[in-house]
Amino acid sequence: MIDSHCHLDNPQFDPDRAAVIDRALSAGIERMVVIGTGEGPPDLEAGIRLADAHEPIYATVGVHPHDASKATPETYKHLRELLKHPKVIALGEIGLDYHYDHSPREAQREVFLEQMLIAGEARKPIVIHTREAWEDTIALLEVYWRPYGLGGIMHCFSGSPEQAKLCLDLGFHLSFGGIITFPKSSAVQEAARQAPANRILIETDAPYLAPVPHRGKRNEPAFITDTARKLAEIRGVTPEEIARATKENYLQLVTGT
Ligand SMILES: [Zn+2]
Ligand SMILES: [Zn+2]
């Protein structure tokens, strides 16, 4: 299995990071993608540092919408260079977060757009984070991302079947996380049921959003097995089938084959 989105650089893993990685490998997680947004610019290498140190770890680079106000022309120049690293599979997580508004919305939109242009130039997929900013996110993707035909990942997809259709139409894969195991998540469960088998991914977003029965605790990649089991139940297939399909889809997305 592949955890397509986790934050193993998070200080919550400082006491036992090696043990967390070992538990993931024992649980059958072959690869973990560490999202490289870290504490924000000027440090863009939070994911790369772990990818360089651990064979099963791959990375992204990018400026999270929370950190948009920290981005400078130097940031973009550096991102272009880091995207050439052999273990960097995508640019992300990028997008808009109007829930926390840690950066002004105007800055979030500008940094999102700028990074789409960088990813498009580098021919790399993007990883999208969107919260309470659905319409602006889709509108910007439509204009600035669709023309590249590169697709990407809707990380921790938590929308409705209608919203899922819009993302699929834009060429995105839907990555399902712990939220699908929560009660009262019937809309996203329905989206997970209907999604085409060749466009689904799974992720933990560890240390956040632990699936049931670990809800409320620190999440870690090994817990992805609970999300896979739930996704299998929703779709009426075996967990092995979910593991196989999501791995294949991930590899197809990052290698373009
Ligand atoms: Zn996110
Ligand atoms: Zn994340």
Q: DSSP per residue over the chain, as a string? A: -EEEEE-TTSGGGTTTHHHHHHHHHHTT--EEEE-TTTT-TT---HHHHHHHH-TTEEEEE---GGGGGG--HHHHHHHHHHTTSTTEEEEEEEEEETTT-SS-HHHHHHHHHHHHHHHHHHT--EEEEEES-HHHHHHHIIIIIGGG---EEETT----HHHHHHHHHTTEEEEE-GGGGSTT-HHHHHHHHHS-GGGEEE---TTSSPPTTSTTS---GGGHHHHHHHHHHHHTS-HHHHHHHHHHHHHHHHH--
Q: Which pLDDT tens digit goes with each residue over 25-61?
A: 999 999 999 999 999 999 999 999 999 999 999 999 9
The pLDDT of 222-235, averaged and rounded, is 98
pLDDT at 257 over 90: no
Cα–ligand 1 centroid distance for 103 (angstroms): 15
The pLDDT of 194-207, averaged and rounded, is 98
Please tell me the number of the ligand nearest to residue 128's CA.
1
Q: Which pLDDT tens digit goes with each residue over 135-188?
A: 999 999 999 999 999 999 999 999 999 999 999 999 999 999 999 999 999 999
Cα–ligand 1 centroid distance for 129 (angstroms): 5
Cα–ligand 1 centroid distance for 93 (angstroms): 6
Please tell me the number of the ligand nearest to residue 6's CA.
2
pLDDT at 93 over 80: yes
Cα–ligand 1 centroid distance for 198 (angstroms): 22
What is the model's pLDDT at position 256?
A: 74
What is the model's pLDDT at position 225?
A: 98
Cα–ligand 2 centroid distance for 37 (angstroms): 8
Cα–ligand 1 centroid distance for 34 (angstroms): 12
pLDDT at 118 over 70: yes
Cα–ligand 1 centroid distance for 168 (angstroms): 19
Q: Which pLDDT tens digit goes with each residue over 2-24?
A: 999 999 999 999 999 999 999 99
